[in-house]
Amino acid sequence: MNALLKSATIVDSKSDFHNENVDILIENGTITKISKRISNPDNYPEIKLENLHVSRGWFDSSVSLGEPGFEERETISNGLKVAAQSGFSAVAMNANTNPVLDSNADIAFALAKANGSACQLKPIGALTKNSESVDLAELFDMKNAGAVAFYDYQTPIKNPNLLKIALQYASNFDGLVLSFPQESQISGKGVMNENVNSTTLGLKGNPALAEELQIARDLFLLEYTGGKLHIPTISTAKSVELISNAKAKKLDVTCSVAIHNLLFTDDKLLDFDTNYKVLPPLRTQNDVDAIIEGLKDGTIDMVTTDHNPIDVEHKNVEFDHAKYGTIGLESAFGALQTLFSTKKTIGLLTKGKARFGVEESSISVGARADISLFNPEGKITFTKEHIKSTSKNSAFLGTELKGKVYGVIANNKIEISE
C-alpha cells in the first residue's frame, strides 16, 4: 500500500513532527518520508482532506461484533470497516457470541474472519466456559491462539474463588483477566440506576453499591493473588476512589469507562428510551463529574465505546425487556471532543494498547503506518445517517458532536469514509 498525505497536522507527542503541518509519504505500509513538501514522481494516490490532522492509530478495548451467531446485529467484516472509518486501527472484540469464544479454535475463527481489514482485531477469550462462571475456559490455549485478555462480557463472576484461581493461573503466562464490576445479588433485576429517577419511573434500580462491592472484592483478591486485573466500564464516584487506593498500593490494576457514561446521566431515561438502557447503567451527575476527574488525574486508564450492536427486535420493546447496550464507534471522537481538548481526546483514544498487547507505532520515518485521520473542528448533530453499523441502537442520536473522522491508514490498508 502506497499513499501520500498532503498538508497533515501531526498530533503525536512521540513524533519529531508533533504539531507540524507536513506531507507524509507511505510506501509498502511504512512511513518513508515526512517533510514540509513532498513531490509525487511515482504518482501514488494522494490524500487531501479539509483541515487534515493525523495521530497514532486509536484503540478500543471493548467492542462487540455479534459474529458468530448474531450476524443480524453485526458481522466481523462490517464491524471492522465501521471501526476503521471511525478512526480505530485496532479493537478488542468481546466473547459474547454464539457460541461464546472460549477455545483456541474460536479465537482462530475470529482472527480468520478479520483477515485483510484495515482495523486489526484483537479477540478477548471468555474467562469461563460458555461464560457461565462455573469452570475456567482454555485460557493458555486461547492466549497462544491470539487472545489478548479473558472476560465474560457483562457477566459477573459470582464465585470469588474462581476469580482467585483465574488470577493465579493467568499470571503464569502474563494473562490479563477482566472482571465485570457488578454484584448480581445486590443488582438483582434492576434495569437502571437506583435513584430518585428509578422511583419516579417505577423501574427497578441497580444501585451503585452493586458495582462498588464487586470492585472491592476483586481488589482484595488481586492483592492476595497478584496477577493482572482490568476492571471494565466503571461508573460510580466510589469506584474511582477504590481503584485510586488500589493503585496507591501498587496493585497491577487498570480500568476503563464507557464514553456514554461520561456524557449522560439517568435523567436521559425519563422518556423510557431504550437506547439509554446500558450496563452499567447511567448514573448521577456526581458520578459523571468524579469519572471525568478520574480520567484527568490518570486513575481511570482508558475510555471505551463499549460498542454493543442490538437489533431492533430486542430494543424496540418495553424498557424492562429491552437488551442492554449502545453502539458507539461512529460517535466516539466527536463525543470526547465535547468534553476534552483534541490533545486529551487523542491521548484517551490511544491509551490501553500496551495493556492489551497491541503494538504501538509513532508517526516517524521508518515506522509502520498506523494512523488515524480526522478534522478536529466543526460541529454536527449525530443522526442515523451517520451510523454505518448494521444495528442503529445509539445513545448519541440527537447529540451535538465536535469534529469529523476520515478513517485510518493501518495494517497496510487505507480505509477512508465517503
Active-site residue list: 306
pLDDT of residue 41: 84
Enclosing domain of residue 333 = 56-350
- Given a cut of 90, whether residue 418 has pLDDT beyond it is no
In a domain, 21, yes or no: yes
Task: Decide if 389 is inside a domain.
Answer: no
Q: Could you tell me if 61 and 46 lie in one domain? A: no
Domain identity same for 220 and 332: yes
Indicate whether 200 pLDDT > 90: yes
Higher-confidence residue of 41 and 410: namely 410
> Residue 89's closest CA among 61, 67, 51, 120?
120
165 is written with which cell numbers?
Answer: 484461581
Which of 114, 122, 8 has the alpha carbon at shortest distance from 63? 122
Please say whether the beta carbons of 63 and 329 come within 8 A: yes
What would the grid cell of residue 97 be? 457470541
Q: What is the pLDDT of residues 149-178, one digit of tens each?
A: 999 999 999 999 999 999 999 999 999 999
What does the block give as the cell for 121? 482485531
Give the pLDDT of residue 177. Answer: 98
Q: Looking at residue 17, which CATH number applies to its domain? A: 2.30.40.10
Residue 384 banded pLDDT, cuts 50, 70, 90 = very high
Contacts of 418 (CB under 8 A, 6+ apart): none
Question: Is the same domain home to 168 and 266?
Answer: yes
Nearest to residue 342, comparing CAs of 295, 403, 298?
403
In a domain, 194, yes or no: yes
Separation of alpha carbons 201 and 406, rounded Å? 41
Residues 6+ apart with CB under 8 A from 194: 205, 206, 207, 208
Q: What is the CATH number of the domain that holds 234?
A: 3.20.20.140
Encode pLDDT of 357-378 as tens digits.
999 999 999 999 999 999 999 9
Q: Is 19 exposed, middle or buried (0-12, 13-18, 19+ CB in 10 A)?
A: exposed
Are 258 and 118 in a shared domain? yes
When the pLDDT of each residue in the chain is averaged and rounded to a whole number, the result is 97
Specify if 259 maps to a domain: yes
Is residue 313 located within the same domain as residue 325? yes
- Tell me, yes or no, whether 101 lies in a domain: yes
For the stretch 38-54, pLDDT in tens is 999 899 999 999 999 99
Q: From the centroid of its chain, how far is CA 15?
A: 25
In the predicted structure, residue 216 carries a pLDDT above the cut 90: yes
Q: Helices marked H in 86-179 — which ranges?
A: 104-114, 139-145, 160-170
Nearest CA among 332, 346, 192 for reference residue 263: 332
Number of separate domains in the chain: 2
Same domain flag for 21 and 76: no
Reported residue count of the chain is 418
Asked whether residue 396 is domain-assigned, the answer is no
Are residues 331 and 382 in contact, defined by beta-carbon separation less than 8 angstroms?
Answer: yes
Same domain, 42 and 60: no
| pLDDT score, position 237 | 98
Question: According to DSSP H, which parts of 178-235 are helical?
Answer: 184-187, 196-201, 208-225
Kindly report, residue by residue over 78-125, the tens digit of the pLDDT.
999 999 999 999 999 999 999 999 999 999 999 999 999 999 999 999
Q: Are 89 and 58 in contact (CB under 8 A)?
A: yes
Domain identity same for 36 and 67: no
Identify whether residues 260 and 290 lie together within a single domain.
yes
Residues 84 and 23 in one domain: no
Note whether residue 355 is domain-resident: no
